[in-house]
Amino acid sequence: MTASIETIEANSTKETYQSGLTWRVGLAVIYSALIIQPAAIYLYFVTNNWFIGAVLNTTIVLFAVLAKMADNPLTKQEVFIMINVTSTALGMEMIVQLVFNYYLKNHPITISTLIDGVSLSTLIPNWYAPEWFGPVRTMFNPVFIFPLILLMFIGIISKATDISLGIIFNYLYTKVEVLPFPTAEVEAERSKSLTWEDKRKLQIFSMSAIIASVVGIILYAFPLVMGLTIIPIPWFDFNSAIEGIIPGASFGIATDIITFATAFILPFNVVLSILIASVFVNIIMNPVLVSMGLLPRWERGMSLLDTFNNSQLDFWLPWTVGLLISAALIPVLRNPKIFFTTIRDLRKLSRGKGEGVENPPRLSILIFFFLLGTVGSVAIAMFLIPNLSVQLIIILLILTVGWSFISTLTMAYAFGITANLPVIPYIKESVFVAADVPLGGEIWFVPLIITQGGAGWVATFKTADLTYTKRGSLIIASYFATLVAWTAGLFWVSALLSISEVPSVIFPVPFWPLEVGRSVTFVSNPTVVINPLILGMTFIIALILYIIEWQAILPISVISIAVGTTTAIPSAITLFLGALLGHVLKGRMKKWDSDRAIVVAGLGAGLGIVISLATFLSLILNTIALPF
C-alpha cells in the first residue's frame, strides 16, 4: 500500500501537476449537456435509471478520437477531468426532483394522509412544491422560481461541503492510514488509456470495450429499442423458486458486467467477506426473522428487490448502521497514535504544508467551507421555519455537522478498501423520531445538508494524484459543469414535458407511486433506526470480528462484512464469480495485475457507448411514434 504512495512521491520530480481544465474539456461538458442529457432524462422517466456513469463514456471516447485525428491527443489530465465532469454535466436530477415534489404534494395518497387531523398535502410548504395548478408542461412557470432557487443554492454550498471533506479525508486515508482505493487505479488507467500513448494498453482497452459492447447490445439495447428482454435487468430473480422452502430468503444472480468485473480489482478476502455477510443476512437469517414475525411486510410472491428492501427497513437497517460505524472507528480506537497522528498532520493543513503529493489548502479554509454548507443549511431552515425550537436547532446542527463528518469517515474508509459506498439512508428521519421533540410538518421537507458525498471526492482526489491533475482545475470544472447542467436541464425537462405530461403513456414513471408511499410513510409513521442498544451490540460484534482478522484466524475483512450486510445477494454472488474468474486469469496471464484495471475501464467504456446509442434511438423512435 505504502509503496504506491512512495512511488508517486519518488516520481514527482519527473512529472509535475498539470491543469486539466482546457477549452476541449469545456466543449465536452457543453456537448454532454446538450446531446446526452435529454436521452438520460427520457431513460429515467421510463426505467428509473440514469445510467450517467455509463453514457458519459460516449463523450469521452468521441473527444479522445477527434483529438487523436487532429494529431493533438488529449492529456491524461484532460481525460480525467472529462470523466468526472461530463457526468456532472448530466446532473439534471435537481430539475426532475422539482417535478416529483409537485407530484408528491398533490398525489391522492398524500392528500388522504392525515397528521393530527390535517392533510399531509397541506403541511407540505410551497417552497418545497407548489399547490395543484394542473399538469406540469414546463419548468418556466413562476410557481417554481423560489423552490428552484432554493435547491440551486443548496446544491452550490453542498458541493463545497463535499469537496472540503473530500480533501480532508483524502489526506487522512492516503497519508496517515494508507488505503488502496481500488477504483482510483481503474480511473487512472482509463485516463491514461484514452490518451493513446501506450498502444498495448489501448489494445486491451479496446478489446474490453468491444466485449462489453456485445453484452450491452443484448442486455440494454434490445429492451430499450425493441422492447425485447433476453437477459433480465438487473438480475435473475429466483425468489419464487425458493420461497416455499426458505420463506423470506433471497437468491439471484446480477447481470451487470461491471459488477462482475469489479471483482478483478478487489482482494479476494474482501469479495469473500461481502458474500459471507450477504448470505448470512439474506439467506440464513431472513427466514428465521420471518418465522419470528420480525419481517411483517414480507409475503409470498414478493420480488427479490422488494424482499431485500423490506427486510432492510423492517430489521437490518440499525444493525448495518452500527456495523459500518464500528468497522470504521475501531481501527482508530485500536491505536490511539493513529488518531493523534491524524490530528497532528491535519494541523499542517492550517499552515498549508501538508505532505501529500499535492499540498492541500489550509485547514481553516476547509473548515470554513464545511461549515458554510452544514451550518448554512440550518440557517436556511431557521429562515424558512421561524418558529423552530432551540432543541430542534441543536438536533439539526448535530445532523448536518456531526453526521456529515462521521458518515464521510465511515464511507470513505469502506470505499477505500471495498470500492463500495455504503450509503446509510433515512438518517434525518430516524434522528427526528429518536429525539422525541415536537417537529411539525414542514421540517421534514427542509433541504438540509446532511452530506454523504465527501467519500466520493476522497477517491476522486486520489485519482487526481495518480494522474497528476491539479485539484483546483477539477473543482472549477465541476462547478462549471453543474451550472451548465442546470441550465440545459431546465430546457430539456420542459421540452419533454411539452410532449406529454408526467405520468403518461409516454413517460409512465412507474416507480413514482412507490416513492410517494415510502415518503408519506416516513413522515406519518417513521422508523427509529439509530438504537443505542443495537449500536453497542454491533460494536462488540465488530470488535470480535476484528480480533479474528488481526490474529489471522480467518481471511476476513471486517469493513467488507459490514458492506456485505447492505449488499443484495445477486450482487454478492456475481462479485464472487468475477473474483473466481480473476483468479483463473491471474494464473494464465503474466501481466494480469497491471492489466486488470485497464480491462475494467474498457468494459465500462464499451457498455456506456451502447447504452447511449440505444437511448438516443429509443428517444427518436418514440418521438416518431407520436400522433403529431
- Distance CA(362)–CA(153), nearest Å, equals 25
Instruction: Provide the pLDDT confidence category of residue 355 given band limits of 50, 70 and 90.
Output: very low
The pLDDT, as a whole number, for residue 46 is 65
Rounded to the nearest angstrom, the gap between the alpha carbon of residue 110 and the centroid of all alpha carbons in its chain is 28
- Distance CA(131)–CA(108), nearest Å, equals 13
- Distance CA(562)–CA(423), nearest Å, equals 12
Contact 18, 470 (CB under 8 A): yes
- CA dihedral for 361, 365, 370, 373, sign (positive or negative): negative
- For 132, the 3-state DSSP assignment is coil
Mean pLDDT, residues 71-79 taken together? 81
H/E element, 348: helix 336-349
235 φ, ψ (degrees, to nearest 5) = -160, 165
- CA dihedral for 510, 512, 518, 524, sign (positive or negative): negative
The pLDDT, as a whole number, for residue 2 is 41
Instruction: Provide the pLDDT confidence category of residue 57 given band limits of 50, 70 and 90.
Output: low
Residue bearing the bigger pLDDT, 144 or 194: 144
Long-range Cβ pairs for the range 155-158 (8 Å, 24+): 155/94, 155/482, 155/486, 156/479, 156/482, 157/372, 157/373, 157/376, 157/377, 157/449, 158/373, 158/377, 158/449, 158/451, 158/453
Residue bearing the bigger pLDDT, 346 or 262: 262
Amino acid at 177: E
Instruction: Provide the pLDDT confidence category of residue 12 given band limits of 50, 70 and 90.
Output: very low
- Distance CA(49)–CA(365), nearest Å, equals 37
Geometric angle at alpha carbon 223, from 222 and 224, rounded to 5° = 95
Mean pLDDT, residues 476-485 taken together? 90
- For 361, the 3-state DSSP assignment is coil
The pLDDT, as a whole number, for residue 277 is 94
Mean pLDDT, residues 30-54 taken together? 69
The pLDDT, as a whole number, for residue 418 is 64
Q: Would you say residue 339 has pLDDT above 60?
A: no
The pLDDT, as a whole number, for residue 284 is 94
Instruction: Provide the pLDDT confidence category of residue 337 given band limits of 50, 70 and 90.
Output: low
177 φ, ψ (degrees, to nearest 5) = -120, 105
Mean pLDDT, residues 314-325 taken together? 80
- Distance CA(468)–CA(188), nearest Å, equals 10
Contact 471, 358 (CB under 8 A): yes
**Of the listed ranges 75-79, 328-332, 418-422, 615-619, the one predicted with least confidence:** 418-422
> Each residue of 488-547: pLDDT tens digit?
888 888 877 877 788 876 677 766 776 776 677 767 766 555 567 887 898 899 899 989
H/E element, 483: helix 471-499
Cis amide leading into 180 (omega within 30): no
Instruction: Name the nearest CA neighbour of 320 among 530, 546, 545.
Output: 530
> Each residue of 90-123: pLDDT tens digit?
667 788 888 888 888 888 888 887 777 778 888 8
The pLDDT, as a whole number, for residue 278 is 94
Contact 409, 169 (CB under 8 A): yes
Contact 25, 191 (CB under 8 A): no
Long-range Cβ pairs for the range 331-337 (8 Å, 24+): 331/177, 331/546, 334/546
Mean pLDDT, residues 543-570 taken together? 87
- For 521, the 3-state DSSP assignment is helix
The pLDDT, as a whole number, for residue 465 is 80
Q: Scanning the structure block, which residue is given the C-alpha cell 427479490? A: 304
**Of the listed ranges 190-194, 281-285, 481-485, 546-550, the one predicted with least confidence:** 190-194
Mean pLDDT, residues 48-52 taken together? 56
Mean pLDDT, residues 296-313 taken together? 83
Q: Would you say residue 5 has pLDDT above 60?
A: no
* pLDDT mean across residues, the chain: 77
Instruction: Provide the pLDDT confidence category of residue 194 given band limits of 50, 70 and 90.
Output: low
- For 107, the 3-state DSSP assignment is coil
The pLDDT, as a whole number, for residue 354 is 42
The pLDDT, as a whole number, for residue 47 is 58
Q: What are the start-end ranges of the H helices in 12-119?
A: 23-31, 37-47, 52-69, 76-88, 93-105, 108-112
- Distance CA(170)–CA(358), nearest Å, equals 11
Rg of the chain in Å (alpha carbons): 24
Q: Would you say residue 228 has pLDDT above 80?
A: no
The pLDDT, as a whole number, for residue 122 is 83
Instruction: Provide the pLDDT confidence category of residue 550 given band limits of 50, 70 and 90.
Output: confident
Contact 335, 350 (CB under 8 A): no
Q: Scanning the structure block, which residue is given the C-alpha cell 450517467? A: 52
Rounded to the nearest angstrom, the gap between the alpha carbon of residue 56 and the centroid of all alpha carbons in its chain is 16
- CA dihedral for 601, 604, 605, 606, sign (positive or negative): positive
Torsion of CA 453, 404, 180, 175, to 10 degrees: 120
Geometric angle at alpha carbon 484, from 480 and 489, rounded to 5° = 150
The pLDDT, as a whole number, for residue 13 is 46
Residue bearing the bigger pLDDT, 615 or 453: 453
- Distance CA(410)–CA(541), nearest Å, equals 17
Residue bearing the bigger pLDDT, 561 or 16: 561
Mean pLDDT, residues 165-176 taken together? 77
Please give, one letter per residue, the 3-state secondary structure of 439-459.
CCCHHHHCCCCCCCCHHHHHH
The pLDDT, as a whole number, for residue 91 is 66
Q: Would you say residue 597 has pLDDT above 90?
A: no
The pLDDT, as a whole number, for residue 626 is 47
Full-model pTM = 0.67
Distances in whole angstroms, Cα of residue 352 to Cα of each of 46, 293, 365: 49, 57, 10
The pLDDT, as a whole number, for residue 283 is 93
- Distance CA(111)–CA(300), nearest Å, equals 30
Q: Would you say residue 8 has pLDDT above 70?
A: no
Q: Would you say residue 218 has pLDDT above 80?
A: yes
One DSSP character per residue, 538-555 reads HHHHHHHHHHHHHTTSS-
Percent of the chain beyond pLDDT 70? Answer: 76
Geometric angle at alpha carbon 257, from 252 and 259, rounded to 5° = 65
